[in-house]
């Protein structure tokens, strides 16, 4: 008895963005490939079974198609959550305070500064730089401190001028600088807009950031961020 095996076809390429039509197409390709492989196994000649190397190659193709389907599904979910593709989604950002690594706009009121010293450091400093790049203050911070309040006061006790300041955490091992990382602050969201597939947030000081740069969100405080 001669049984002709069903010829195995490589999976068609999966293309497109992580949108509904692309995901449906990838899922259809996945089901088609599964049907072909199952049919081939059922109808193979018992006297001439599919070579193990060919079977492994087809399983690898099967895995690739399955992974592409899962990837498209995941990307679609992420886009739905972060893309803010509707007016309702965008409006939910307005008026919230978001934590982001950015310069601080000092107006005379103390600012909560969120820190993340290097875990391998044995000491760390909060370094404050003005708009001209001049270091106006250097404060030692605890390695386990996650937030400090910066009062905007110079070493001589006089208040610093209102304006934009960069606050960075410098981590050290002994006298060796391990790295410098900008600290995070909370800022009020005034506007949210779509820029292609990216949601952009306009903060109260005019800074524009990508929504995926936000590390925390809280309700707006009556006194402002």
Question: Which residue in 93, 43, 61 sits closest to 214, CA to CA?
Answer: 93
Q: Are residues 175 and 114 both part of a single domain?
A: yes
Q: Are residues 162 and 117 both part of a single domain?
A: yes
**pLDDT(224) > 50:** no
Q: Are residues 191 and 166 both part of a single domain?
A: no
Residue of higher predicted confidence among 134 and 67: 134
Q: Are residues 191 and 150 both part of a single domain?
A: no
Q: What is the pLDDT of residue 74?
A: 65
Q: What is the pLDDT of residue 219?
A: 83
Q: In the chain, how many domains are there?
A: 3
Please state the rounded mean pLDDT for residues 167-182: 96
Residue with tokens 């209102």: 162
Q: What is the DSSP letter of 164?
A: E
| Reduced 3-state DSSP string for 95-123 | CCEEEEECCEEECCCCEEEECCCCCCCCE
Q: Are residues 109 and 178 both part of a single domain?
A: yes
Please state the rounded mean pLDDT for residues 175-186: 96
Is 62 inside a domain boundary?
A: yes
d(CA 179, CA 117): 9
Q: Are residues 169 and 212 both part of a single domain?
A: no
Q: What is the pLDDT of residue 127?
A: 97
Is 223 inside a domain boundary?
A: no
Q: What is the pLDDT of residue 91?
A: 85
Q: Are residues 65 and 45 both part of a single domain?
A: yes
Question: Which residue in 194, 169, 192, 172 sits closest to 182, CA to CA?
Answer: 169
Q: Are residues 55 and 73 both part of a single domain?
A: yes
Is 63 inside a domain boundary?
A: yes
3-state class of 42 per DSSP? helix
Q: Are residues 125 and 114 both part of a single domain?
A: yes
Query: Which band of pLDDT confidence, cut at 50, 70 and 90, is reported for residue 30?
Result: low
Rounded to 10 degrees, the C-alpha dihedral 56/61/65/67 comes to 60
Please spell the DSSP secondary structure of 185-198, one letter per residue.
EEEEEEEEEEETTE
* Residue-range definition of the domain harbouring residue 208: 87-96+186-218
Q: Return the minimum-mean-pLDDT range out of 2-11, 111-120, 167-176.
A: 2-11
Is 15 inside a domain boundary?
A: no
Do the Cβ atoms of 130 and 165 come closer than 8 Å?
yes
Q: Are residues 34 and 78 both part of a single domain?
A: yes
d(CA 127, CA 76): 41
Mean pLDDT of the chain: 79
**pLDDT(132) > 50:** yes
Q: Are residues 111 and 68 both part of a single domain?
A: no
**pLDDT(184) > 60:** yes
Q: Which residues of 38-66 are buried (b: 16+ CB within 10 A; e: fewer)?
A: eebeeebeeeeebeeeebeebeebbeebe
Q: What is the pLDDT of residue 94?
A: 92
Is 10 inside a domain boundary?
A: no
Looking at residue 124, which CATH number applies to its domain?
A: 2.60.40.4070
Is 75 inside a domain boundary?
A: yes
Do the Cβ atoms of 117 and 143 come closer than 8 Å?
yes
Residue of higher predicted confidence among 10 and 89: 89
Please state the rounded mean pLDDT for residues 141-159: 92
């Amino acid at each position: 008895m001669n049984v002709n095996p069903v010829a195995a076809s490589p999976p068609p390429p999966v293309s497109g963005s992580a949108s509904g039509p692309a995901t449906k197409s990838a899922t259809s390709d996945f089901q088609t490939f599964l049907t072909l492989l199952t049919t081939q196994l059922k109808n193979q000649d018992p006297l001439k079974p599919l070579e193990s190397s060919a079977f492994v190659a087809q399983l690898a193709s099967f895995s690739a198609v399955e992974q592409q389907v899962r990837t498209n599904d995941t990307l679609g979910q992420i886009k739905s959550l972060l893309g803010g593709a509707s007016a309702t989604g965008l409006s939910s950002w307005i008026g919230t305070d978001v934590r982001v690594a950015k310069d601080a706009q000092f107006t005379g009121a103390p600012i909560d500064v969120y820190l993340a010293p290097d875990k391998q450091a044995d000491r760390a400093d909060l370094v404050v730089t003005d708009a001209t790049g001049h270091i106006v203050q250097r404060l030692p911070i605890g390695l386990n401190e996650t937030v400090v309040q910066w009062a905007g006061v110079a070493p001589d006790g006089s208040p610093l001028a209102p304006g934009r300041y960069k606050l960075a955490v410098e981590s050290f091992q002994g006298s060796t600088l391990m790295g410098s990382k900008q600290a995070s602050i909370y800022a009020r969201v005034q506007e949210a807009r779509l820029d292609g597939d990216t949601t952009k947030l306009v903060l109260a000081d005019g800074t524009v950031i990508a929504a995926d740069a936000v590390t925390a969100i809280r309700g707006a405080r009556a006194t402002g961020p």
